[in-house]
Chains A and B, each alone.
Chain A
Amino acid sequence: MADMYTEKVKDHFYNPRNVGEIKDADGAGTVGNPVCGDIMTIFIKVKDDRIIDIKFQTYGCAAAIASSSITTEIVKGKTLDEAMMLTRDDVANELGGLPAIKMHCSNLATDALREAIKDYRKKKKK
């Protein structure tokens, strides 16, 4: 197999940013399932409609871990509306590209982020 991952993917896989759990998170979203081999949870802290802190936990391949890591980096400091606009292509592009078969990993990362934002908005309404 040729080196299927870019240097950026490897950097985020070997040195993932924002790993962990936020115990008092304002919102959390989990997507994926163990049958497919990917599960991702994203935790956010929100202030004035902005993501002020974000962490992730991922069970999955290098592409899944790198996608989660870079997603947290991209949206930290962004407004919730901006974060909601993030697409899987944005994540993949930021990583310098992902193999076609691994594009669902970047999809999972944006899905987990949206779930976390939805969770925050739902809690806020109450």
Chain B
Amino acid sequence: MKRIYMDHGASTPVDKEVIDEMIPYFDKYFGNPSSIHSFGREAFDAVEESRSKVADILNADADEIIFTSGGTESDNLGIKGAAYLNKDKIGGKGYHIITSSIEHPAVLATCRHLEKQGFNVKYLPVDKYGIIRIKDLEEAISKDTFLITIMYANNEIGTIEPINEIGRIARKHDVLFHTDAVQAICKTPIDVGESNVDLLSVSAHKIYGPKGVGALYIRNGVKIYPLAHGGGHEKGLRSSTYNTPGIVGLGKACELGKTRLKEDMAHLKNLRDKLIKDILKIEESYLNGHPEKRLVNNAHFRFTAIEGESLNMMLDEKGIASATGSACSSKKLQASHVLMAIGLKPEEAHGSLRLTLGRKNTEEDVSYVASVLPDIVERLRKMSPLWNR
């Protein structure tokens, strides 16, 4: 059976060039980059070269990059690291964090953890497209605010936040600005300088790199407290023996992503727009998220009277990999907090479908999905007591 992968928001295949670059670092150059001998030095050089490549795609300096185990750790390190350091400033800033209500669980759960530790967190609402209101942000800032953490682009509905404006406000009020750019990187140009970002999270496996490796950008001069104590790697901010093959893979993925950015964006946008146009022909189908301010590879829909997990399974039977924001597919049996935050009713949120495109997808893939989906929606609606037509 024909298999079509349209769940690149969940993970991407590792690029062949990335694999080739990684392979020698498993055995040939296996040395510990912290070792003084030649085995260590060749691994060290590779780690440092990767650091430059990651810095390059963000328009940062190499010494502003810390390697981590992935997006979740980067979010935790950036947010908790800033919080734990600021907590000690008695009488000064340090107790108030501003975030949005549509963050990835890695940010939301970290913020909730900090609330239990005595921090105060403001969860900004979003409009119907999932965009925060700048006015709300400005109003939320108080003298106690030390950190704003708002995602670059949403992982579910693909909405891109007004990062430059947020950065300007953060800078104006002398507040740190962290952004989870896990979904945005390699799909939109990122410039930490222009955007006034102080901390930024990156993950390799969303950008055709390996799983289990990521990075945190930390602006020069910004201080954070480490989570992992040990041998003092990464300027003491993240102790742990270097995952050399993973780091090399992340570096290569960033290098390729930067080289191909224009081409990738044009390709993905073309497919995404065709997919949206074709699928919205289905009766009572709607696009979630912003029509333009959205990731080039994200198409997110909802269909009246059907449930998302059933839809995912029917598509899977046709060889198509997709995702949903329905409660039934989650471990918590709750509809997606993102879809609730944009004002959908639970029954609308349950009927959602996320298709996230990738480099290898073709127009034929899009046509195939658009050709099988109407029948699947109809089959499920015929079973549904909510569809009385």
A interface residue numbers (CB < 8 A to B):
10, 13-14, 16, 19-20, 30, 34-41, 57-65, 101
Q: How far is the CA of A38 from the CA of B307 in the complex (A)?
A: 8
Identify the 5 closest CB pairs spanning chains A and B, nearest first.
A34-B347, A61-B328, A57-B385, A61-B309, A37-B350
Asked, given contacts A34-B346, A35-B346, whether A61 binds B310 with beta carbons under 8 Å apart, the answer is yes
Among B329, B331, B383, residue most surrounded by chain A Cβ atoms (within 10 Å): B383
Query: Is there a chain A Cβ closer than 8 Å to B222's Cβ?
Result: no
Q: Could you show 18 A-B contacts with beta carbons less than 8 Å apart? A: A13-B310, A35-B347, A37-B307, A37-B346, A57-B383, A58-B384, A58-B385, A59-B305, A59-B306, A59-B383, A59-B387, A61-B328, A61-B329, A62-B309, A62-B313, A64-B328, A65-B310, A101-B333
CB pair A30 B385 closer than 8 Å: yes
Chain B nearest CB, measured from A100 CB (Å): 11
Residues of B within 8 A of A35 (CB): 346-347
Q: How far is the CA of A46 from the CA of B386 in the complex (A)?
A: 25
Chain B nearest CB, measured from A56 CB (Å): 8
Q: How far is the CA of A63 from the CA of B331 in the complex (A)?
A: 14
Asked, given contacts A60-B310, A61-B309, whether A39 binds B385 with beta carbons under 8 Å apart, the answer is yes
Residues of A within 8 A of B335 (CB): 37
Query: Is there a chain A Cβ closer than 8 Å to B366's Cβ?
Result: no
Identity of the chain A residue whose Cβ is nearest the Cβ of B381 in the assembled complex:
A59
What total of A-B pairs shows CB separation below 8 Å? 69
Query: Is there a chain A Cβ closer than 8 Å to B327's Cβ?
Result: yes
Chain B nearest CB, measured from A46 CB (Å): 21
- Besides A61-B307, A62-B313, A65-B383, 18 more A-B contacts (Cβ < 8 Å) are A14-B314, A19-B382, A20-B382, A34-B346, A34-B347, A36-B346, A37-B307, A37-B326, A38-B307, A39-B385, A39-B386, A59-B305, A59-B306, A60-B328, A61-B310, A61-B329, A64-B328, A101-B333
Q: How far is the CA of A61 from the CA of B306 in the complex (A)?
A: 9
CB pair A19 B383 closer than 8 Å: yes
